[in-house]
């Protein structure tokens, strides 16, 4: 089966549809090659200028309200969860868990110095309702649950700081930044860069919280200190050495996004691409969108279930053999499914080509 050859006329120009690390546009890689920054000190003006550019472009992209700041640190979103357990949650967090990533953050805030978190869960493919919970000082949920392809709008929680995991949403879904206190992400998804760093758009209330916990007697390791991240970010640097390549790729992608019309334009692109795939699945008799409620369906991560008669593993194998990669479902979901990123950097025409390639494969399996 894996020697099935999809005609070149049907294939997408770029076959990267993974949910992260995700497609890096060739222009970004060219910018990296041309950059004179690799291999130079992160404490000197050129790299600090790069960090400053990334911070101000992110603030532009998100239309950051007055007083909001972009901070960054090493370690990606997973590290941010631990940093938040140390430096953002005062006593107790409330989490919406409707997939792997939301659930993982709730594990991190189960730290022994905090009260056991409150968790509202929903089965994979759906989402729980954001309800007020008394006695919590952080309310956390993903903007986009990458493991299942379910979105949750950025809305302010009634109590506590609203902390949003935007790792697979940032740069691909429009939102009102004033509704969140912390909008954090790593840049290897919609932002088309590489991994290893985390970024967060933080509100004045979040900054106040970070300062207050740092001034308390809680033990906080330096490398997980949000206060260190805040202070260093204001100096356009990180506590320890960052991946300069990740910053260069990110800065290039942000420049491109802003040039194209910013977040509204990016959201329109991801909407077009995801609509193509949902409509494709709905038009077939052997496939359907995994997320039943169309309102909850992600515009950046499309999950499509297949009938038992179709072997989704055979589909993803055949696609891979033809250069269309990373359409496998989230490893722990265990469904007869494909998962496709429709991130901002992916051409909507390539998503159409993917649908045509899928038809070709399905006719011949």
Ligand X SMILES: *Cc1c(COP(=O)(O)O)cnc(C)c1O
Contact residues: ligand X, CB under 6 A: 20, 76-78, 101, 142, 146, 165, 167-168, 186, 195
C-beta of residue 20 within 8 angstroms of C-beta of residue 146: yes
C-beta of residue 197 within 8 angstroms of C-beta of residue 77: no
Residue 148 CB, nearest approach to ligand X (Å): 10
Residue 76 CB, nearest approach to ligand X (Å): 3
C-beta of residue 130 within 8 angstroms of C-beta of residue 151: no
Q: Which is nearer to ligand X, 77 or 233 (CB)?
A: 77
Q: Which is nearer to ligand X, 84 or 361 (CB)?
A: 84
Strand partners for 338? 304
* Residue 118 three-state SS: strand
Q: Which is nearer to ligand X, 174 or 194 (CB)?
A: 194
Q: How far is CA 31 from CA 43, 124, 193, in A?
A: 21, 39, 12
Residue 6 CB, nearest approach to ligand X (Å): 28
DSSP secondary structure, 246-275, as one string: HHHHHHHHHHHHHHTTHHHHHHHHHHHHHH
Q: Which is nearer to ligand X, 168 or 342 (CB)?
A: 168
Q: Which is nearer to ligand X, 6 or 83 (CB)?
A: 83
64: exposed, middle or buried (C-beta count within 10 Å: 0-12, 13-18, 19+)? buried
Residue 320 CB, nearest approach to ligand X (Å): 21
Residue 168 CB, nearest approach to ligand X (Å): 4
* Closest residue to ligand X using C-beta atoms: 76
């Amino acid at each position: 089966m894996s020697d099935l050859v999809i005609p070149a006329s049907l294939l997408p120009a770029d076959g990267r549809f993974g949910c992260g690390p995700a497609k890096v546009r060739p222009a970004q890689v060219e910018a990296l090659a041309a950059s004179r920054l690799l291999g130079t000190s992160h404490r000197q003006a050129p790299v600090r200028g790069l960090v400053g550019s990334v911070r101000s472009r992110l603030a532009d992209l998100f239309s950051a309200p007055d007083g909001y700041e972009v901070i960054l640190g090493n370690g990606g979103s997973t590290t941010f969860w631990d940093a938040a357990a140390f430096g953002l949650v005062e006593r107790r967090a409330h989490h919406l868990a409707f997939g792997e990533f939301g659930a993982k953050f709730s594990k991190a805030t189960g730290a022994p110095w905090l009260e056991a978190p409150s968790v509202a869960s929903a089965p994979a493919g759906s989402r729980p309702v954001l309800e007020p919970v008394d006695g919590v000082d952080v309310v956390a949920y993903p903007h986009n649950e990458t493991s299942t392809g379910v979105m949750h709008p950025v809305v302010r929680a009634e109590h506590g700081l609203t902390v949003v995991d935007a790792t697979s949403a940032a740069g691909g879904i429009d939102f009102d930044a004033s509704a969140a206190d912390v909008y954090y992400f790593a840049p290897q998804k919609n932002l088309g860069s590489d991994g290893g760093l985390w970024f967060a758009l933080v509100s004045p209330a979040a900054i106040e919280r970070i300062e207050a916990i740092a001034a308390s007697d809680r033990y906080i390791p330096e490398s997980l200190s949000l206060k260190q991240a805040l202070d260093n970010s204001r100096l356009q640097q990180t506590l320890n050495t960052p991946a300069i390549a990740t910053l260069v790729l990110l800065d290039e992608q942000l420049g491109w996004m802003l040039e194209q019309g910013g977040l509204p334009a990016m959201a329109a692109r991801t909407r077009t691409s995801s609509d193509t795939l949902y409509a494709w699945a709905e038009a077939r008799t052997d496939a359907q969108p995994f997320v039943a409620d169309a309102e909850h369906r992600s515009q950046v991560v499309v999950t499509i279930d297949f009938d038992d008669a179709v072997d989704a593993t055979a589909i993803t194998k055949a696609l891979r053999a033809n250069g269309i990669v990373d359409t496998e479902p989230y490893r722990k979901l265990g469904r007869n499914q494909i998962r496709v990123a429709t991130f901002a950097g992916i051409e909507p025409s390539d998503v159409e080509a993917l649908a045509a390639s899928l038809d070709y494969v399905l006719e011949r399996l």
